[in-house]
């Protein structure tokens, strides 16, 4: 049966890696994002790697007026529709301190924008009784930390949204996977000090596809972040508030 992946934020390193992987497996891809020139380049790569259809769609998390078009295109697909969302922005915390107005954009990019679009797409998965939504959150969403708590708060909101959506879609036979990556070697993390155990995006894509196949609910990638975050989540607030990790 035919399968299509709608990838939101397809120019991101993780989005690209996933698009390549599923193309090699013979799925079609709809690459959504802002940099259409770059997406066209990537669509060509996906076609060459085996995707029967590789198309580009304009998607800007901050501009919901474009969402209807994406929904229409998604409805026109055959077979199983999967959605993967790699959207988010992480301005440096100091920039947000200087201009708290940046909080709106961060929350829109990392949570409310994509959530609104996914909400519009959910009925398609329900109608078809199949498909998976892969929502990429972040370990930063597990606990608010001094370094990036606005981004963390947005991702925490996204995690909660995904959990509720999973609750809903599972009744119709569709599924939601929440992905919490640790440090991934992307343009977002390149050159930031203090990164460790940085995972290549291809590894994250593999982990995601395995989780989709096994119908996992929440995954950390690479897996050891589950244990790192387990510890971080269990530090008593009285102590945690004095730490800077």
Find the part of the chain contacting another protein (CB under 8 A) among 82-90, 94-102, 163-171, 186-194: 186-194
The set of residues, in sequence order, having a beta carbon less than 8 Å from that of 239 and lying 6+ positions away, is none
Stretch that binds another protein, among 1-9, 45-53, 115-123, 145-153 (CB under 8 A): 45-53
Closest to 142 (Cα-Cα) out of 236, 239, 226: 226
Under the binding rule (CB under 8 A), the answer on residue 98 touching another protein is no
Q: Of these, 38, 60, 126, 202, which contacts another protein (CB under 8 A)?
A: 38
Q: Cα angle vertex 147, ends 12, 181, to 5°?
A: 40
| Residue 45 interacts with another protein (CB under 8 A): yes or no | yes
Q: Which member of 44, 95, 230, 243 binds another protein (CB under 8 A)?
A: 44
When asked if residue 41 is in the footprint of another protein (CB under 8 A), the reply is: yes
H or E element, residue 124: helix 113-128
Instruction: Tell me which of 100, 101, 191, 236 binds another protein, using CB under 8 A.
Output: 191
Length of the chain: 245
Judge whether 10 and 32 are in contact, CB under 8 Å.
yes
Q: How many residues bind another protein (CB under 8 A)?
A: 17
Enumerate the β-bridge partners of residue 245: none
Which one of residues 95, 98, 146, 192 is an interface residue with another protein (CB under 8 A)?
192
């Amino acid at each position: 049966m035919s399968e299509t992946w709608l990838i939101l934020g397809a120019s991101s390193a993780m989005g690209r890696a996933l698009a390549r992987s599923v193309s090699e497996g013979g799925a079609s891809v709809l690459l959504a994002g802002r940099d259409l020139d770059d997406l066209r380049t990537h669509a060509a790569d996906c076609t060459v790697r085996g995707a029967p259809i590789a198309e580009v769609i304009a998607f800007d998390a901050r501009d919901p007026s474009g969402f209807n078009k994406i929904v229409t295109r998604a409805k026109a697909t055959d077979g199983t529709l999967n959605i993967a969302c790699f959207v988010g922005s992480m301005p440096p915390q100091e920039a947000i301190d200087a201009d708290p107005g940046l909080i709106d954009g961060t929350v829109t990019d990392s949570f409310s924008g994509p959530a609104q679009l996914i909400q519009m797409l959910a009925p398609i998965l329900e109608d078809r009784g199949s498909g998976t939504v892969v929502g990429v959150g972040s370990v930063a969403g597990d606990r608010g930390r001094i370094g990036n708590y606005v981004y963390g708060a947005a991702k925490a909101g996204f995690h909660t949204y995904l959990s509720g959506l999973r609750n809903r879609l599972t009744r119709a036979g569709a599924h939601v996977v929440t992905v919490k990556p640790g440090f991934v070697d992307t343009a977002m993390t390149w050159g930031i000090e203090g990164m460790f155990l940085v995972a290549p995006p291809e590894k994250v894509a593999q982990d995601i596809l395995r989780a989709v196949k096994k119908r996992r609910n929440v995954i950390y990638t690479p897996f050891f972040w589950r244990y790192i975050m387990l510890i971080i989540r269990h530090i008593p607030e009285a102590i945690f508030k004095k730490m800077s990790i």
